[in-house]
Amino acid sequence: MSLYEKHIFVCENQRPEGDPRGCCFSKGAQGLTAELKKLAADAGLGKKVRINKAGCLGQCAFGTAVVVYPDAVWHRNVPADGAQAIFEQHLAPMGNK
């Protein structure tokens, strides 16, 4: 039995400035995680959803990386203000169950 219905990992890996690989931290990942948590809590999904920061998800070249389970959907190049779109795709439908 799963503890959570959805588990979202947001890469917040941070590399030194000038590292050619870049990092999700420098692209606003922290704010993205915080906003996802707020949206989930405001929707009353706090006990159904777990949202964690993650280390490098191996998608650095594509921008901030987010993966959602059990959906097994990867989002790459998520903008700093992209939490609402992820919420609507993966979490909002849970409110109707």
Binding mask of the shown chain, residues 70 to 89, with x at each position contacting ligand FES by CB under 6 A: --------------------
Q: Considering the rule CB under 6 A, would residue 11 count as an interface residue with ligand FES?
A: yes
Note whether 56 binds ligand FES by CB under 6 A.
Answer: yes
Q: Phi then psi for 5, rounded to 5 degrees?
A: -80, -30
Pairwise CA distance, residues 8 & 24, whole Å: 15
In the bound state with ligand FES, the residue whose beta carbon lies nearer, of 56 and 80, is: 56
SS3 of residue 76 by DSSP: coil
Determine which residue in the list 36, 40, 45, 65 makes contact with ligand FES, applying CB under 6 A: 65
Closest to 12 measured CA to CA, from 62, 49, 66, 61? 66
Tell me which stretch binds ligand FES (CB under 6 A): 35-43, 57-65, 66-74, 81-89.
57-65
Q: Is 30 or 59 the residue whose CB approaches ligand FES more closely?
A: 59
Give the DSSP letter string of 11-41: E-----TT-TT--SGGGTHHHHHHHHHHHHH
